[in-house]
Amino acid sequence: KAGVTQTPRYLIKTRGQQVTLSCSPISGHRSVSWYQQTPGQGLQFLFEYFSETQRNKGNFPGRFSGRQFSNSRSEMNVSTLELGDSALYLCASSLGSTRGYNEQFFGPGTRLTVL
């Protein structure tokens, strides 16, 4: 079974721009979660999608948004980029049938650098 894939792997943007990151979950997984990882804050939960609906949201500003498609693929968008948005963005998929219980399968991440 193919693992979670994320594209692109690396991205350089300038302040004020917007960016879209993509995640393809493991086949059969209906839940996709997004995390931001920085050296200072560690791994922080952004949001979770399940069957095309946002099921949970972390404490991030509205500039961070996402969506999930009928094939469970998910995209995350960050608008009006700030320097502090530079981070590793990780996507994780799970079966999602029991909320909070299923193990998360992580992708390799997208390294975003904002200049």
Partner 1 sequence: SQKIEQNSEALNIQEGKTATLTCNYTNYSPAYLQWYRQDPGRGPVFLLLIRENEKEKRKERLKVTFDTTLKQSLFHITASQPADSATYLCALVDSGYALNFGKGTSLLVTP
| Residue 58 beta carbon to partner 1: minimum distance, rounded to whole angstroms | 6
106 binds partner 1 (CB under 8 A): yes
Name which of 72 and 93 has its Cβ closer to partner 1.
93
Order of strands, sheet of 74-78, starting from the edge strand that comes earlier in the sequence: 5-7, 19-24, 74-78, 64-68
Residues numbered 7-26 forming contacts with partner 1, rule: CB under 8 A: none
Q: Which residues pair with 11 in a beta bridge?
A: 112
Choice from 55, 73, 79, 86 touching partner 1 (CB under 8 A): 55
Q: Are 80 and 38 in contact (CB under 8 A)?
A: no
28 binds partner 1 (CB under 8 A): no
Q: How many residues does the chain have?
A: 115
Q: SS3 of 26, please? A: coil
| Residue 14 beta carbon to partner 1: minimum distance, rounded to whole angstroms | 24
